[in-house]
Amino acid sequence: MTRSRILIAALSVALIACAAARAQDAVPVPQPRPLGSNADVPLPTPRPDRPAEIPLPMPRPEVPRAEAAAGPPAPSACLLRLTEEIAVVKAVPPIEGADGCGVTDPVTLSAVFTKDKARLAISPPVTFGCAMAEAIVKWLREDVAAIANDFELPITGLASGQGYHCRGRNGVLGAPISQHGRGNALDIRALLLANGKRLDPTDVSVAKEVRERIKLGTCQHFTTVLGPASDGHHEDHIHLDVAERRGGHRLCQWAVHDGPADVAVPLPRERPAEAPPRVN
């Protein structure tokens, strides 16, 4: 290689190195941040005596329970029919008992108002199913009130016996569940009179005609009526229920026994003229 060629090669290498250096110097450098940027704000120095605050999670919105959202159950059609113009009745929570006992639509019946606005007290108030309560209300308003007018009996209420009670039929252990255990039955003891006396429909001292009329109306309103001579368990009271039977069959077993012919229906003494007026 001649001297001139060596010089040319060396010059080429120098030129290439110079171009590479210039290219490296041409890489853009980022511009400095303005003074108002976040990068220039000094970060707070944590205090050693105060731990760093950790943000708490947002509370989850409260979802109402299904029962609360639904509210209390609507009154049954039966309860809606027992308006305050015809009865004093109060709905109570459903009753759950053992061995198949229970009432899904129970109420407590305290009084019934006749079509003439007279108040007939249920003493003591009775709890049973609404269907039984409705049957009692109709019976007192339509039949008992008519008997009171026809025979001039000052009836003021009903002496009630057992309503809902979880037990076997006739109180026998191991027997099928009584209609009392399903809220479909009521035992009645007597009709209450204004003079404080009682008209017992099983008492032979009460005029037979009156007892026959009570039996007739009772057997028209209830599917089961058990009284004297029925089964040996109802000689001193009357059992009423609204049990459903096949074909709409009704059971009315109540012997109205003969009594002393000269014994009249017990009536109260006449009110003296100076007595204050009655308040219904």
Rounded to the nearest 10 degrees, the angle between the axes of helix 208-221 and helix 130-139 is: 140
Residues sharing a CB contact under 8 Å with residue 279, sequence separation 6 or more, in sequence order: none
Checking if the pLDDT of 36 tops 90, the result is no
pLDDT score, position 263? 44
Confidence of residue 269 (pLDDT cuts 50, 70, 90): low
Higher-pLDDT residue of 40 and 242 is 242
Angstrom distance (rounded) from CA 252 to CA 229:
11
Confidence of residue 224 (pLDDT cuts 50, 70, 90): very high
Checking if the pLDDT of 5 tops 90, the result is no
Q: With b meaning 16 or more CB within 10 Å and e meaning fewer, what string describes 140-174?
A: bbebbbebbeebebebbbbbbbbbbbbbeeeeeee
Checking if the pLDDT of 28 tops 90, the result is no
**Which range has the worst mean pLDDT, 19-28, 87-96, 155-164, 220-229?**
19-28
Of 145, 157, 143, which is closest to residue 110 (Cα–Cα)? 157
pLDDT score, position 67? 46
pLDDT tens digits, 197-216: 999 999 999 999 999 999 99
Contact 228, 255 (CB under 8 A): yes
Across 18-40, average pLDDT:
56
H helix and E strand count, the chain: 6, 11
What's the pTM?
Answer: 0.68
Q: With b meaning 16 or more CB within 10 Å and e meaning fewer, what string describes 205-236?
A: ebbeebbebbbebbbebbbbbbbbebeeebee
- What one-letter code names the amino acid at 164? Y
CB-side neighbour CA atoms (13 Å) of 247: 3
pLDDT score, position 44? 57
pLDDT tens digits, 93-152: 999 988 889 999 999 999 999 999 999 999 999 999 999 999 999 999 999 999 999 999
